[in-house]
């Protein structure tokens, strides 16, 4: 069974107020508008991190490397305990999942491909935006709850709720927790490549439960 999943992107870092610091509403709104513009403009990015995935009481955890180039994604997943690894790649034309028993599988939608192959409900297409603290573009309208400094505290969209933790400065989150019904995806980002503000390593693994 697959034991890790997705994430994506990066944008140029920007100096922000420390997390939890209250700034004037107009300033927070302007900061967030500028952040959104910078992150949206960053088309090529990559990240490394640790993920935990669960669905209906079943799940696993592992490491992930995600790269995005010219609208295509390539995600390498590995489970240190079982020494298994998988690769999910694709774009708007479809997706390919390698590393499963019986050989590679292909499908028109990456999320459906994973659901059929593993039984896990993972919002693959939307995660490319959600992981960067952005509402997904190819999804229904989102409800964004801003934090004290303007960066999103949570995003609700397409039945999912994504809660964020942010570093003291920077355009990109350090953690996220996405939930819908019994499905849950948690990510700790070790490094965003392409961002000017680094994220300090967090040695605590994301919990499966």
Predicted confidence at residue 77, as pLDDT, reads 83
Taking 70 as the pLDDT cut, the residues of the chain under it are: 1-22, 81, 119-120, 194-209
Predicted confidence at residue 128, as pLDDT, reads 86
CB 152 within 8 A of CB 164: yes
Distance, in Å, from the CA atom of 167 to the CA atom of 48, rounded to the nearest integer, reads 16
CB 123 within 8 A of CB 181: no
Angle at 4 between CA 186 and CA 181, to 5 degrees: 50
CATH code for residues 25-193: 2.50.20.10
Domain definitions of the chain by residue range:
25-193
Predicted confidence at residue 198, as pLDDT, reads 43
Predicted confidence at residue 199, as pLDDT, reads 46
Full 3-state SS string of 112-174? HHHHHHHCCCCCHHHHHHHCCCCCCCCCCCCEEEECCCCCEEEEEECCEEEEEECCCCCCCCC
| pTM across the whole model | 0.78
């Amino acid at each position: 069974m697959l034991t890790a999943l997705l994430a994506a992107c990066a944008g140029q870092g920007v100096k922000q107020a420390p997390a939890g610091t209250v700034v004037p509403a107009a300033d927070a709104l302007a900061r967030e508008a500028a952040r959104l513009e910078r992150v949206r403009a960053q088309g090529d990015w990559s990240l490394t991190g640790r993920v935990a995935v669960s669905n209906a009481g079943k799940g696993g955890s592992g490491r992930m490397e995600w790269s995005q180039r010219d609208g295509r994604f390539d995600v390498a997943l590995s489970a240190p305990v079982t020494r298994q690894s998988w690769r999910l790649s694709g774009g708007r034309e479809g997706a390919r999942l390698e590393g499963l028993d019986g050989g590679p599988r292909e499908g028109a939608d990456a999320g459906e491909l994973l659901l059929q192959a593993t039984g896990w409900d993972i919002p693959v297409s939307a995660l490319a935006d959600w992981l960067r603290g952005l509402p997904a573009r190819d999804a229904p309208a989102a409800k964004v709850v801003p934090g004290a400094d303007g960066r999103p505290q949570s995003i609700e969209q397409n039945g999912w709720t994504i809660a964020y933790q942010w570093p003291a400065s920077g355009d990109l989150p350090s953690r996220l927790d996405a939930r819908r019904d019994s499905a849950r995806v948690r990510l700790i980002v070790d490094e965003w490549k392409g961002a000017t503000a680094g994220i300090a390593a967090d040695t605590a693994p994301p919990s499966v439960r």
